[in-house]
A and B are shown apart, each in its own frame.
Chain A
Amino acid sequence: MTVAERAVELEEELDYLDRDEKFEWLIDRGKSLEANGTYTDADLVKGCQSKVWLQVSTNGDKVHIEGTSDALITKGIVGLLVELFDTAPTGEVKDFDFIAWLAKNEMSLSYQRMQGLAGMLQRIRMTIK
């Protein structure tokens, strides 16, 4: 599936949810994210209120991404990034505007959280450039 197709699949779930339900949906994704890896301080993303560990690598043209967080919302966001981008071609990941996508789906994130998110996206961009 392309990144765009994955996004549409998620949108189909989100379409039915009101603002409160979207918040809980994100929390639930955080709760169910499996984080099996071992993470070190080098994986920590700067600028988050909570701790976020993100590992991004490429294998040929494919992106590999995994991570976790000690807070559920950020963990939910990591989950979304994994769902959208893991195993996808680097070109597609580069072209996908995650922040615009969140906004389009009316996922409200406080300003501070957006800062953390910027760090995560930066990490992805740096690795696949």
Chain B
Amino acid sequence: MSIKSDFPLFANNPDLVYLDYANTAPKPQVVIDAVMEYYTHYSGNVHRANHDVGGRADEAYENARVKIGQFVGVGRDQVVFQKNTTEGINLVANSYAGKHFKKGDRILATGLEHHANLVSWQLLSGRIGTETVFSKVDEHGNFDEKDWMVKVASGVKLAAFTAVSNVTGERLPIERMIAAARAHGVVTLIDAAQLLPHERADFAKLGADFMVFSGHKVYGPTGIGILIGKPEALESMDPWIGGGDMIDTVSLLGSTYQEPPLRFEAGTPPIASVIGLGVAVEYLGEKLDREHQEEESTAMECLLEGLRQVKGLRWLGHPSCDSRLVSFVIDGVHSADLGAYLNEKHVAVRVGKMCAHPLLAQSGVDSVVRASIGLPTDGTDIDKFLYAIERGVTILR
């Protein structure tokens, strides 16, 4: 049985060629069932019910936390539920950097960041006067490791970096980066939004201080994202929602300073999404083996080989069979037109600036088409995509 049959999206859209996994992934039936079961069988609130329905919800919810922790090699106390990657980064910026850093302290990012890992730091700068510095990107849009290594040794306080670029698909050498950062006493945050859908990461082994990812990109529900932190780092943070000056109001809500992770989870959480994510990481975890990775690599290689045949096509960075996405422009064809044509042919890709305006500006392009693959992607998808590209270019040039 093909993996596709696990995903009702494809049964309900038989013509769909979905190549927008990097944006959000389809959900397998097991995840949908888990969400549904919560709502149909035990839809109580967590942490505050004295009845059995609530008790069941509590158990499933905290059980999911354990599974999510196991997925990245940490204990449950290190798993903080947030809304998405973006919110996780903002929490660190506000509650960690905002508390421990002062005016003039520098934060290092790469030139490849998604806006989530860029605007959060700019907002912090506006608030407390920190400064954000960026490592260079070469003219193809590749990470400049040498430059980053120099900068990480220049007295920066925190290095926040994406593990995989959502524009070029480049996987950064995060192991070396973390080692260098640690050697210089620099706190690290990994944006693993594009890494974890395709690669296992053991947080404890990596040795970073923080890691964030989004549930919806790892085949889980929307509305749930995860911040993983070292215990002592989380312990040192104040709550963000209702934190600081508003501490009185917070205690009126009955929320004295809880221990992490609950300290950062004010209000009723997205219970069903958490439970769904627990199932999603189990599902994905079983498939992050060599066999499935080779299948994804083969699909990627076919995709790139096909694109190489398109005249006037230029991609950003140096995608290879190890990448899981590729962004490109085609001479004489506007990306918006190509995206619209692909949509006509039921091919779903991402078109635009990919929430990475600086990187696109640096690469000298205004908007790109991005195709990204996932577990269910098969040869038929790639063939249909390439055929549509070829036809589209003929019509649109």
Q: Which A positions have Cβ atoms within 8 angstroms of B?
A: 19-20, 23-24, 27, 48-50, 70-74, 108-110, 113
Contact = CB atoms under 8 A, between A and B. Distances in A.
B395 A50 contact: no
Given A50-B336, A73-B337, 13 more contacts: A20-B344, A23-B340, A23-B341, A23-B344, A24-B395, A49-B335, A49-B351, A49-B367, A50-B334, A71-B337, A72-B337, A73-B336, A113-B336
B285 interface: no
A27 B334 contact: no
B251 interface: no
A19 to B, nearest CB: 7
A19 B344 contact: yes
A27 B339 CA distance: 13
Most chain A beta carbons < 10 A, residue from B340, B344, B351, B367: B340
B396 interface: yes
Contacts, number: 39
Nearest to B344: A23
A97 B357 CA distance: 35
Interface in B333-371: 334-337, 339-341, 343-344, 351-352, 367
A72 B367 contact: no
A74 B336 contact: yes
B190 to A, nearest CB: 31
Interface string B386-397: 000000000110
Contacts of A19: 344
7 contacts: A20-B344, A48-B336, A49-B339, A71-B334, A110-B339, A113-B336, A113-B340
Contact of A110 (B335, B340, B367, B396): B340
A73 B340 contact: yes
Most chain A beta carbons < 10 A, residue from B336, B351, B352: B336
Contacts of A71: 334, 336-337
A20 B334 CA distance: 18
A67 to B, nearest CB: 16
Contact of B334 (A23, A72, A108, A109): A72
Contacts of B337: 27, 50, 71-73
A68 B335 CA distance: 17
A23 B344 CA distance: 8
